[in-house]
Amino acid sequence: MKIHILVVAVAAACLSMQANAQSVDSALTLGKVDVHSHSEGQLTAHQVLTSVDVLGADQIEDKNVSQSWELLGQMPGIQLTETRQGAESGKVSFRAFNGEGYLNAIKTLIDGVPSNVNSGNQRFIDMLFPLEISYIEVVRGTNDPRYGLHNIGGNVNFGTRQGGTYTDARLGYGSYNTRSAQLAVGRESDGFARNYFLGYQDADGYRDNDASKKYSIGGKWFYGNLEDDGLRAGLTARAYHNEADEPGFMTAEELRTHRRGSDLRNRNDGDDRDMRQVAAHVDLKLADALYFGTRLYYNSYEDDRRITFSDLPTGNAPRQRRIWDESQFGMLNTLTWNASSVLTLEGGFNYEQQDNRYQRMRFSYAEPTDFWATPARIQNDERHSFDNWGAYVQAIYQPIEALKIVPAYRVDRYSGRTRLVDGTTGRLQRYGNINQPKLSVVYALTPSANIYANWGRTAQVLTGGTAPAYLTPVQAAMSPSTNTGMELGMKFSPFRGAQARVAVWQQDAENEISNMPATGTTVQLGKTRRRGVDAQISAPLGERWTVWASHAYQEARIERDGRAGVESLEGNEVAAVPRHISNVGVDFRATDALKFGLQGRAQGDYYLEERNVAGKYGNFAVLDLSAGYQINPTWSVDLQVKNATGREYAYVWYDSFFQSQTQPMFSPSAGRQVYIGLTMKL
């Protein structure tokens, strides 16, 4: 009903306004973006797409977070899945896709470089620290043709600082003995830009057996100016190491009696994680209106995780040691032609080759388990390749200043082979050409309002090294799951300086599969429908106040069960999708040197699994407060209180298809936290 009302409201607004020349850019920005994108060369998301949000550096650099994915909690419609299990800390999702790991539908990039692991999880985000991030760009929906793999519901790009001359440092200390240090250095002269970053964080954690320590180092070297020199070339490199304990999931009784504890069964649980990323960037100006860009990249992911999932002191299912060793080599190429004042054409081609190994060992239940002893059995030991070829073409046609039409088409192909622990081999499912047409339209109604609509198709392909992703002797051939989405929205300025957007959207999937390679859990959901309403506003109120707010209403249901001979799931809700996600923020600058901030974040509850029999959990509302004081032009100090009201809430895990699961298990979020930070900028 809410969706139907919004459609009528948007249509009425469209009919009541008169067309006028206007910039047909429907992106919304929160904060200041000092280095976002170059105006020349490859088309940017806000030039082409219609549901884009950008978070600026001033809303990022002074935040105290355990992992950088938490920064997206400030942005509209973002669901944070806070697992809080050491290095496996959580992730972000949106458009009614959840963060449970069964369908990783959000493409993640760092400086435009693909940064998902094979399963689609977003672990490479952990390499980043707030002080080195220049902006975060979120693209929602199915109409972005630039990416194929994992780009089912949209994508997130983290842009790090590039160019400039600065020396910035930040020290932080806070709750649970959290210590952090960040150093960012930039030097630019004679067309040569160098940027360096060092980051360190050490914390005891909210719970017992919850300590973690991580390090990150990065560098960027770029030379040339594309317009003046016809060339811009650069190299980016980043390395990360994390050692973390895991406190484990708790039963409801354990949560009630000692929410900060960790049972003896989890005493040896932990994770050692190493990640590296290297990329070469080259942009060429081939002619006055013709640009070519290429990105060559290498990603490495190594992870050794020891975890106990269940409270059942029997068998060897609950205790597992999981080892990942993944490497990715890829390239992205684009050719952009500004054919005329009304037409721009762009074509792109990408290739990614993955070489992955995954091992899963099971241990007999004991308190605590020696994860370096001989396992009771080795369930997984597969080596699998995964290759993706993709190409797209898109055009921007702007016949009049008030109208922009963007048709696009993308094609993806996948191939690969696997070798299992028993010596069995198999090839990747033969999906053939996966065709994905797309279309976006933006029309300016007035100088302060435009309406937009988009339609597009994306696709889900299975990952992991076993069936059903690979055609081993017992696995039947499967088709990819196509996702067809549409959106209608309006961006407008209700008063001077304000930005607002309201939209209604829907996304239908065929043959959707809930698949978690790490656990071997696969459930064919069949046809699903996701739909929702997004509303957001950001506005200055006078010279000292800035407010922003957003509300997303969403739902995800199984329309047709794809399984046979079992209990039907038709009509049920997809697991872990809250009906609403809301946030609100207020910034107040009392004086030129003193500022205060408030941010609230809330989400509704949801079913834990597709059978909808284990109850609803997950709702919360938290409030964060902050204050900052500029001591002098070089030094500033800030105080942040997270979860100021001490709200007790928890992430809840349950899988009715996992044989050892008997009850919901909980991972509590931290209570009230206080952090102080000291920042130097030269």
- Which pLDDT score is estimated for 661? 64
573: domain CATH number? 2.40.170.20
- Which pLDDT score is estimated for 514? 87
The residue ranking higher by pLDDT, 25 or 489, is 489
- Which pLDDT score is estimated for 17? 41
The stretch 508-526 carries a mean pLDDT of 87
- Domains identified in the chain, total number: 1
The stretch 173-188 carries a mean pLDDT of 98
Whether residue 565 is predicted with pLDDT greater than 80 in this model: the reply is: no
Please report, rounded to a whole number, the percentage of residues in the chain having pLDDT higher than 70: 93
- Which pLDDT score is estimated for 46? 75
Its domain, for residue 429, covers: 2-681
- Per-residue pLDDT tens over the stretch 414-455: 999 999 999 999 999 999 999 999 999 999 999 889 999 999
The model's pTM: 0.94
- Which pLDDT score is estimated for 318? 84
- Which pLDDT score is estimated for 13? 42
- Which pLDDT score is estimated for 1? 44
The stretch 15-43 carries a mean pLDDT of 59
pLDDT-derived band at 89 (thresholds 50, 70, 90) equals very high
d(CA 134, CA 166) in angstroms, rounded, equals: 13
pLDDT-derived band at 567 (thresholds 50, 70, 90) equals confident
The three-point CA angle 564-558-10 to 5° equals: 155
- Which pLDDT score is estimated for 654? 84
Coil, helix or strand for 649?
Answer: coil
- Per-residue pLDDT tens over the stretch 621-677: 999 999 999 999 999 999 999 999 999 999 998 876 655 567 899 999 999 999 999
Please report, rounded to a whole number, the percentage of residues in the chain having pLDDT higher than 90: 79
- Which pLDDT score is estimated for 521? 80
Rounded to 5 degrees, what are φ and ψ at 85? -115, 75
- Which pLDDT score is estimated for 656? 62
- Which pLDDT score is estimated for 312? 67
- Which pLDDT score is estimated for 34? 64
The stretch 84-94 carries a mean pLDDT of 94
HSE-CB for 194 with a 13 A CA cutoff: 6
- Per-residue pLDDT tens over the stretch 331-345: 999 999 999 999 999
The residue ranking higher by pLDDT, 575 or 312, is 575
d(CA 318, CA 311) in angstroms, rounded, equals: 8
H/E run at residue 255: helix 252-257
Residue 11 CB neighbours (<10 A): 13
The stretch 232-240 carries a mean pLDDT of 97
What does the block give as tokens for 209?
């057996």
- Per-residue pLDDT tens over the stretch 195-205: 999 999 999 99
- Which pLDDT score is estimated for 537? 96
pLDDT-derived band at 23 (thresholds 50, 70, 90) equals low
Which of 271-280, 316-325, 555-564 reaches the highest mean pLDDT?
Answer: 271-280
Rounded to 5 degrees, what are φ and ψ at 271? -155, 135
In a 10 Å sphere around its CB, with 0-12 CB exposed, 13-18 middle and 19+ buried, how is residue 584 labelled? middle
- Which pLDDT score is estimated for 43? 81
Q: Are 136 and 63 in contact (CB under 8 A)?
A: no
